[in-house]
Structure 1
Amino acid sequence: MNITIKDIATLAGVSYSTVSKALNGSPLVKEDTKRKIVEIAKEMGYEPNIAAQRLVSKNTKIIGLIWPTIERTVLATLVTKISDEIANTSYSMVLSVDPIQKAMDTFKKFQVDGIILFEENVNIDINPNSTPLIAYGVSRQRNYQYPIIDANHEQAMYEAVHYLYGLGHRNITYIGDISPIDPFQMEKYEGFKKAMDKFGLAGDEYIIDTRGLDWYNGYVAATKLLELNSLPTAIVGGSYDISGGIIRCLKENNVSIPEDISVISYDNIPQMANMEIPLNCIGVSVEALASEIVHSIINLVETENLETQYKKMTPTLIERSSCAYART
């Protein structure tokens, strides 16, 4: 049997309108009354009638998230963190893994209040229609008609080299995907090169293109590195998955981390602390990204305004066990 506001009002001894206001967090209801009503609603297993809410408020309190054909660990972790963050608000989340336009059409039918779009390396133009939309992972080089939130990839790679330089490393290799069709990978590459130039270190001979972003790409690239006559004292990995492959290859070939080679990686997710070697990393944490994305879309839904249209978040460096001072 469906529990209604009328049932809760009868048990709580208050009016229907008081129950409605209490369940929507209205300040017009005394806190003790509100707590009592919420507790009764939970005990009775009350589920709000979204269709009815829509008729009254014109809002569904639902945020749609579009996650098209992405299988990387970092982005899967970010989706989980976004879901957790939304759970702490009055909104709910619906996830779609359909192609972008199909997902947009579906969310329009459901009349979601706002949309979060993962648009990494998606080379199509998006028309957000009338639904508030925020995207994660869109190059500033492209034209866009909606707010963008992203991490500062170039700054992260620059700071990684700066950090290793401070540890005395002068022979530093970058292992990452250098793809001209992926602006974010190119930003990492450019950040690494700028830092190497800034500190007067070697150039392109210390760069290995993985031609992909997964674990196996990192493993193969590290194998190529070990075939060189002269090895670096430090490696900057282009992503969490790539760096996992690098570490496995080095360990299989009895290269000690960080005694023989230090490793620092782009990305900043909790899993990096539990790798074979707890990994030093630099990037915007998934928790910080999730918080910024969720509160920005809710602010856009409720106020139709954001202070900035394009926000690059500042990376944070986390020290663990994979980097050490260079041997002299």
Structure 2
Amino acid sequence: MTVTIKDIAKVAGVSYSTVSKALNNSPLVKEITKRKILKVAAEMGYEPNLAAKQLVRKKTDVIGLMWPTIERIVLATLVTNISKAFETTSYSMILSVDAPETAMDTFKKFQVDGMIVFGESNSITVSTENIPVVIYGVSGKNESAYPIIDANHEASMQKAVQHLVELGHRRIAYIGHLDQEDALQSEKVEGYEKAMKHFKLDENITIINSNGLNWFDGYTATDIMLEQDKRPTAIIGGSYDISGGILRALQEKGVQVPEDISIVSYDNIPQMATMEVPMTCAGVPVDVLAEEIVHSIIERIESDEEIELVKKLSPTLTERESTGPPPEIL
């Protein structure tokens, strides 16, 4: 038999409204009375009717996450960290990897309070129908009226190139996905080019298209890179998966890392430390990125004030065993 608030009020010897206030932690109820009511409720096995509570509050405490794929390790890691970040809040998360229209239908059924959208393309065309939205994407690339969390890919490339230049490298290649429809990938390439020009290395700019973001794409692109007349002494990989493929291809060709060629990878996830050669990486740490995304969507939902439209995060470079001086100065 379901225990109701009226049942608790009868046993506790207080009014129905007092029980309701106590269960909602109202300051209008004396602490001694509140403890008594909570004790009675627990002993009677009371479970709140969340659906009714949500109906009264017109709030579900559910946030939808619209994600393109969880096949790539970095995205799966970021989703996991976002989920963990929600555990410290009153909100729950539902994830959809469906097409935007299908995801929106799902989120409407759950009456989500807000949405997180991954902005891989240059434009966000999802009709949100007044649902608060935060986008993980690239500011300046998306024509969007929604707040954007920008992981600052350009600054990451600057840090990667600078690290290699300080080690003595001049022939630094970039292997990554050249997709004009993917703003995140485009900014990495642009950031690499800008950094190389900053260090007066224009003539050494070498960009190899991996034609994808997966391990095998990096693996096959490395063969093309090794056929260059002037083999680079360092490579910047456009993603964790691409860099893993680069590393394996070099090892199979008998190229030592970092003795012959150094590697820096974009992305900053814990798995970098456990690769066959622990990988030097540049990017916003995945836990920091996840916490900022969660904080921003909750702020968007709960704050009456307009929040800043762009939050550009600061990347870090973590140095590991995959980078060292170029062979000519050893």
Shorter-chain TM-score: what band?
A: 0.7 to 0.9
Where do 1:152-231 residues align within 5 Å?
A: 152-203=152-203, 206-231=206-231
Query: Whose radius of gyration is greater, 1 or 2?
Result: 2
- Measure the CA separation in 2 of the matches of 1:13 and 1:2: 19
- Measure the CA separation in 2 of the matches of 1:88 and 1:301: 16
1:135 partner SS = strand
| 1:92 corresponds to | 92
| 1:296 corresponds to | 296
- Measure the CA separation in 1 of the matches of 2:144 and 2:257: 43
Q: Flag as ranges the 4+ runs of structure 1 deviating above 6 A.
A: 6-16, 29-46
1:222 partner SS = helix
| 1:82 corresponds to | 82
Alpha-carbon displacement from aligned partner over 1:52-80 (angstroms, at most 9, x marks no partner): 11222111111111123453211111111
1:187 partner SS = helix
| 1:247 corresponds to | 247
Asked if the contact 1:222–1:250 (Cα under 8 Å) also holds between the matched residues in 2, the reply is: yes
Shift in Å, 1:109: 3.0
Q: Which moved more, 1:38-47 or 1:273-282?
A: 38-47
Asked if the contact 2:170–2:204 (Cα under 8 Å) also holds between the matched residues in 1, the reply is: no
Q: Which amino acid aligns with 1:310?
A: V
Q: What residue ranges of structure 1 are gaps of 5+ in the alignment?
A: none
| 1:113 corresponds to | 113
1:116 partner SS = strand
Shift in Å, 1:229: 4.1
| 1:286 corresponds to | 286
| 2:237 corresponds to | 237
- Measure the CA separation in 1 of the matches of 2:71 and 2:29: 46
Alpha-carbon displacement from aligned partner over 1:251-287 (angstroms, at most 9, x marks no partner): 1122111121111110111111111111111111111
1:212 partner SS = coil
| 2:125 corresponds to | 125
- Measure the CA separation in 1 of the matches of 2:42 and 2:153: 44
Q: CA 1:243–1:302 in 2, change beyond 3 Å: closer, same or farther?
A: same
Q: Which moved more, 1:272-281 or 1:105-114?
A: 105-114
| 1:310 corresponds to | 310
Q: Which amino acid aligns with 2:193?
A: K
- Measure the CA separation in 2 of the matches of 1:277 and 1:302: 45
Alpha-carbon displacement from aligned partner over 1:188-244 (angstroms, at most 9, x marks no partner): 111111111111114465221111111111001112222334322211111111001
- Measure the CA separation in 2 of the matches of 1:41 and 1:189: 60
Q: CA 1:49–1:321 in 2, change beyond 3 Å: closer, same or farther?
A: farther
Shift in Å, 1:42: 8.3
| 2:64 corresponds to | 64
- Measure the CA separation in 1 of the matches of 2:27 and 2:167: 55
2:255 partner SS = coil
- Measure the CA separation in 2 of the matches of 1:134 and 1:102: 18
Q: Which amino acid aligns with 1:98?
A: D
- Measure the CA separation in 1 of the matches of 2:180 and 2:164: 26
| 2:140 corresponds to | 140
- Measure the CA separation in 2 of the matches of 1:30 and 1:84: 35
Q: What residue ranges of structure 2 are gaps of 5+ in the alignment?
A: none
- Measure the CA separation in 2 of the matches of 1:5 and 1:171: 73
Q: Which amino acid aligns with 2:88?
A: N
- After TM superposition, the score normalised by the length of structure 2 is 0.87
Q: CA 1:205–1:138 in 2, change beyond 3 Å: closer, same or farther?
A: closer
Where do 1:11-30 residues align within 5 Å?
A: 24=24
Asked if the contact 2:22–2:38 (Cα under 8 Å) also holds between the matched residues in 1, the reply is: yes
**Total equivalences in the alignment:** 328
- Measure the CA separation in 1 of the matches of 2:44 and 2:280: 49
